[in-house]
Amino acid sequence: MTKSEDLILAELKNNQDKYTSGSELSRGLGISRAAVWKQIGSLRRRGYEIQARTNRGYRLAAEPDCLDRARLEKEQVHYYRAIDSTNLAARILAAEMAPGYSWVVAEEQLRGRGRLGRSWHSPPGSGLWFSVLLRPGKLLPAAAAPLTLAAAAILADSFKDQYDLPLKIKWPNDLILHGKKMGGILTELICELDMVSCLIVGVGLNINQKQTDFSPGIRSLATSARLAGGRGFNRTEMFLFLKKRLEEGFHRFFESGFAPFQPLWEKADVTVGREVRATHPGGSVRGTAIGISADGALLLEDSRGRVHHIRYGEISPEKGGFAD
């Protein structure tokens, strides 16, 4: 935003209950009335709703839903207006030797990434797209997988507590509201054969999207906190709240592993008791989900009563969906 845009905006924000004339703005800022008009035009293009009345001037009617950059930077969060992917940004921070618990948040991702090489649609003004860089100390690669599950359990618990939204989890990383996907987690490792040096946990959450913000193809599968809660949410406050909860949880995970999160997971799990097909690196298996183990593996009982421990992969319902 240019300096004049900033000043005009500040003036309009201070006088939101009345109209401010163009000549007042031009005198106050020492710019011509034509320049005021030009800046008003570019503020409108940024999403500010500014009413104009002949002989009365301008009034700020509504602000766009933007993340509050100044507030985020005060908390040492790396903010980007637009970036390819916050997970990639966190990876660059790792290479630059940034400390653990470095957070990256973007208003928009141009190449947001989902699990298993999928893309993740991340438009501006509606969702939360963020990643955190973690330096776990001593952690074996095999012990890192349940971190995604712990993050999902923390998020579900936080949404229930703070926003009264019954967020549920579908193993291993889908965040589900009333049977539709509200978000997901992409955890990536930077590691040697026997030691994880960094973990990057990326979280994508649909927050203020309206039904029409989702493309017709995914409308029946996706939802947002606004659609479920019937109101909009302040994304900056929400992010800072989730950041605090996740940080506390990650410290706990590195001290005690997944076990302390298992009860939270079980409370929010929509997988247990369902007939599912699990697709994993070694093939696929059908069965009934009967729970998860203390180290986060999905327990699947097949028709012969054999229990499979599925550590990696994804599941799809054999019948019905994952509605709670």
Binding site for ligand BTN (CB under 6 A): 85-87, 109, 112-115, 118, 120, 122, 129-131, 173-174, 184-186, 202-204
Residue length of the chain: 324
Report, in Å, the least distance between residue 213 CB and ligand BTN: 16
- Of 55 and 215, the one with the shorter C-beta distance to ligand BTN is 215
Report the sign of the C-alpha dihedral through residues 168, 171, 172, 176, in that order.
negative
- Of 107 and 174, the one with the shorter C-beta distance to ligand BTN is 174
CB 133 within 8 A of CB 198: yes
Report, in Å, the least distance between residue 234 CB and ligand BTN: 19
- Of 185 and 207, the one with the shorter C-beta distance to ligand BTN is 185
- Of 113 and 274, the one with the shorter C-beta distance to ligand BTN is 113
Start-to-end Cα distance in the chain: 44
Report, in Å, the least distance between residue 97 CB and ligand BTN: 21
CB 82 within 8 A of CB 107: yes
Report, in Å, the least distance between residue 236 CB and ligand BTN: 16
CB 133 within 8 A of CB 201: no
Measure Cα distances from 202 to 221, 253, 284 in Å.
Answer: 21, 17, 26
The C-alpha R_g of the chain, in whole angstroms, comes to 23
Residue whose entry in the numeric block shows the structure tokens 């703005």: 25
Report, in Å, the least distance between residue 248 CB and ligand BTN: 20
Residue whose entry in the numeric block shows the structure tokens 């994993």: 280
Question: Which pair of tokens denotes residue 271?
Answer: 């997988």
- Of 78 and 115, the one with the shorter C-beta distance to ligand BTN is 115
- Of 204 and 313, the one with the shorter C-beta distance to ligand BTN is 204
State the Cα–Cα distance between residues 171 and 277, nearest whole angstrom: 12
- Of 187 and 262, the one with the shorter C-beta distance to ligand BTN is 187
State the Cα–Cα distance between residues 309 and 319, nearest whole angstrom: 21
Residue 282 CB-density burial (10 A; 0-12 exposed, 13-18 middle, 19+ buried): exposed
For ligand BTN, the nearest residue by Cβ is 184
State the Cα–Cα distance between residues 54 and 286, nearest whole angstrom: 69
CB 199 within 8 A of CB 188: yes
- Of 9 and 152, the one with the shorter C-beta distance to ligand BTN is 152
Report, in Å, the least distance between residue 194 CB and ligand BTN: 27
Report, in Å, the least distance between residue 5 CB and ligand BTN: 29
CB 286 within 8 A of CB 302: yes
Report, in Å, the least distance between residue 78 CB and ligand BTN: 13
- Of 152 and 310, the one with the shorter C-beta distance to ligand BTN is 152
State the Cα–Cα distance between residues 212 and 8, nearest whole angstrom: 32
What are phi and psi for residue 195, nearest 5 degrees? -155, 135
Report, in Å, the least distance between residue 182 CB and ligand BTN: 10
